[in-house]
A and B are shown apart, each in its own frame.
Chain A
């Protein structure tokens, strides 16, 4: 269990779910009223330092799911983030002292705008958006998570990849002192993930820097992590320090570890089972003790936005 000082008040305690949804309507109304302002570019993404820091200038998004978000407690205490340990509650316990700022991100490979960027400068050219996305773990459980982030497509375009760039790869911080889980070779560190350029420039993926209106908590991959809602959760690499534009399909962590179970694409697909368990249904976290699993949707329900990316691809082979 995560034990906090009594003075720490969680957003879920302050904001009831009802109020949270009302706030969203209010924000949507405001966005509609100021649609001219919306069209005008860039308020500039800012993430103030400090745990639970409130994020200013957050836009809503038409891509947000109209579902009740999973509780803040569940989202921040039930995590797969092996850099902090392999048990679900390890990240919450072992990332308490992790200091995610200052932070640098290196952009390299086949692109015009490469270099090493301060986190603040890296996110500044873009706008913060709230995206409430379904998250389906390959282990057959799921959540609904109110992320705040910057659209990955904007980031990609900003760094001007050349025609040689066919894939984008991401790397997590490798620092066994700050990330105790890396002291054991449970995976080959650093954790790495990748997308095709077409996937990365689709409007759905974001680089998340916030959760429930606040700075991204450590167990969820502070200060910046990838969210690709139509893929299994392990594609959502956390605590990113490097983004590279490459020509060949990159090696990705779980695919390197167990290629017969985890593929490069890892699209949510109820028809293609994991060798050891069915992917047809999922347990929605927070649904209660006596509620059975619910059906898993093709592409996690995001097919209308992404199915075209895979026309002609055999999804049974390219799992």
Chain B
């Protein structure tokens, strides 16, 4: 089996199943099978889904830097799936807030999205993720051409908004959102570094340095 077929037939299903595990565990805990959710189950469900949404955003954003550092180009083939999982967990996070937390009380929901900055930010991130998920097919990619890439740079914005949303939601102990902020800073910083290295002038300077 060649590498491409192996990835499609073996590794993609494996990664797909692995990414589903946090969701299945949460489902198990919700019905007291694999564990429990504690005293405030709705908050726990929301927090875990939000956390996994943010983790998958980070994981998807880590693909390109990791590929460039290691030269493992096959990593690229998992990026779309990881991004869609970020969308999946973030969407569930939003729906649990909408249905279980707010009880679909529309007046309160509209007020929260409009009036509470941390909810506005989270909602904006979800909208961008939705646009990216909707245009994630090969067909859409071809049809949108150059604009596809522009739209999908939105992943950086989603990362920033996601961490910001988490930061503002915390009462005062910023340790956890700080960890995400640091990871995001590294992931975006690496991209700036690659870009700096790639610009023609710097490349020439680099090569000149190697010659002398």
With a CB–CB cut-off of 8 A, which chain A residues contact B73? none
**Nearest-CB distance from B116 to chain A (Å)?**
6
Select B103's contact among A78, A285, A293, beta carbons within 8 Å. Answer: A293
**Nearest-CB distance from A124 to chain B (Å)?**
34
Query: Main SS of the interface on chain B?
Result: helix
Q: How far is the CA of A308 from the CA of B103 in the complex (A)?
A: 34
**Nearest-CB distance from A77 to chain B (Å)?**
6
By the criterion CB–CB under 8 Å, are B38 and A88 in contact? yes
Q: How far is the CA of A67 from the CA of B79 in the complex (A)?
A: 52
By the criterion CB–CB under 8 Å, are B38 and A139 in contact? no
By the criterion CB–CB under 8 Å, are B30 and A78 in contact? no
Assuming the contacts A187-B172, A289-B30, asked whether A88 and B39 have C-beta atoms less than 8 A apart, the reply is yes
A281 contacts the other chain (Cβ, under 8 Å)?
Answer: yes
Assuming the contacts A1-B36, A88-B40, A292-B105, asked whether A278 and B112 have C-beta atoms less than 8 A apart, the reply is yes
Query: Main SS of the interface on chain A?
Result: loop
> Total interface residues on A, using CB and 8 Å?
29
Select A141's contact among B40, B45, B103, B173, beta carbons within 8 Å. Answer: B40
Q: How far is the CA of A278 from the CA of B111 in the complex (A)?
A: 9
Chain B stretch 71-119: residues in CB contact (< 8 A) with chain A? 100-103, 105, 108, 111-112, 115-118
Across the interface, name the chain B residue whose C-beta is closest to A78.
B39
B171 contacts the other chain (Cβ, under 8 Å)?
Answer: yes
Q: How far is the CA of A23 from the CA of B43 in the complex (A)?
A: 34
A selection of 22 A-B contacts at a CB cut-off of 8 Å is: A77-B38, A77-B39, A78-B38, A82-B173, A88-B38, A88-B40, A139-B171, A186-B173, A187-B172, A257-B172, A273-B115, A276-B117, A276-B118, A277-B112, A277-B116, A285-B39, A285-B40, A286-B39, A288-B41, A289-B30, A292-B102, A292-B103
B residues sitting closer than 8 Å to A (CB atoms) are 30, 36-43, 45, 100-103, 105, 108, 111-112, 115-118, 168-169, 171-173
10 closest cross-chain pairs (CB), A and B: A292-B103, A78-B39, A74-B39, A86-B173, A289-B41, A285-B39, A186-B173, A276-B118, A276-B116, A285-B40
